[in-house]
């Protein structure tokens, strides 16, 4: 049975990143390990950053709007052999359409359009971990996520400065990005 859930946090993990999905009102969260690009896409969506050119998820949302299709919800449906499965539920002209997807892509879309997120109780039973266990790590990771979000904003600003041929500003932004990346690697 599917239950309503939320993106609790995006965190650095030992080997990449994880998005933690928490059923509403629950004391457990499900960590889904994702790549850096996927984490970046989710963070941009969570931060509602304005970017000069659409990223892939933004392009899909724009395409769906032109096709008069709405994202109704996302569902994290299954966990098989350490792989999570999800569905993107769309509605076009009153007809629901279900599309298989990676959870990270569904989540990146959901945080942009603010649609409901659901997770299967069996997935929570299999992969859920106590919120109390991860609370301290999540606070540290929230601070890391804030830094990553700031870094993402700087990168968007850099792209905008280059696009506008403001190379002096672009050089300053590039140096600031390098400085932050060097600090995070230390």
Q: What's the CATH code of the domain at 62?
A: 3.10.690.10
Q: Is the pLDDT of residue 186 over 80?
A: no
- Rounded to 5 degrees, what are φ and ψ at 163? -60, -40
CA distances from 79 to 5, 46, 119, 149, 158 (A): 16, 25, 11, 29, 39
Residue 183 lies in a domain: no
Residue 121 lies in a domain: yes
Residue 37 lies in a domain: yes
CB atoms within 10 A of CB 94: 5
Structure tokens at 27: 């004391």
Average pLDDT over residues 11-24: 86
Could you tell me the residue range of the domain that residue 99 belongs to?
2-131
Q: How many domains does the chain have?
A: 1
With b meaning 16 or more CB within 10 Å and e meaning fewer, what string describes 151-164? bbbebbbbebbeee
Percent of the chain at pLDDT > 90 equals 49
Confidence class for position 72, pLDDT limits 50, 70, 90: very high
Residue 22 lies in a domain: yes
pLDDT tens digit sequence for 152-166? 778 888 888 788 888
pTM: 0.71
Using DSSP's 3-state secondary structure scheme, residue 173 falls into: helix
Confidence class for position 87, pLDDT limits 50, 70, 90: very high
């Amino acid at each position: 049975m599917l239950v309503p859930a939320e993106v609790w946090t995006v965190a650095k993990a030992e080997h990449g990143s994880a998005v933690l999905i928490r059923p509403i009102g629950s004391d457990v969260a499900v960590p889904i390990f994702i790549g850096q690009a996927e984490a970046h896409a989710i963070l941009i969506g969570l931060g509602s950053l304005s970017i000069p050119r659409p990223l892939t998820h933004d392009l899909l949302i724009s395409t769906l709007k032109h096709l008069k299709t709405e994202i109704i919800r996302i569902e994290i449906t299954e966990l098989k052999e350490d792989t999570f499965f999800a569905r993107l539920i769309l509605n076009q002209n009153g007809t629901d359409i279900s599309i298989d997807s990676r959870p990270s892509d569904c989540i990146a879309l959901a945080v942009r359009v603010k649609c409901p997120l659901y997770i299967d109780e069996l997935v929570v039973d299999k992969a859920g971990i106590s919120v109390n266990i991860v609370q301290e790590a999540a606070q540290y990771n929230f601070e890391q996520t804030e830094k990553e979000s700031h870094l993402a904003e700087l990168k968007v600003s850099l792209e905008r400065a280059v696009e506008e041929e403001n190379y002096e500003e672009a050089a300053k932004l590039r140096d600031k990005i390098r400085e932050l990346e060097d600090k995070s690697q230390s």
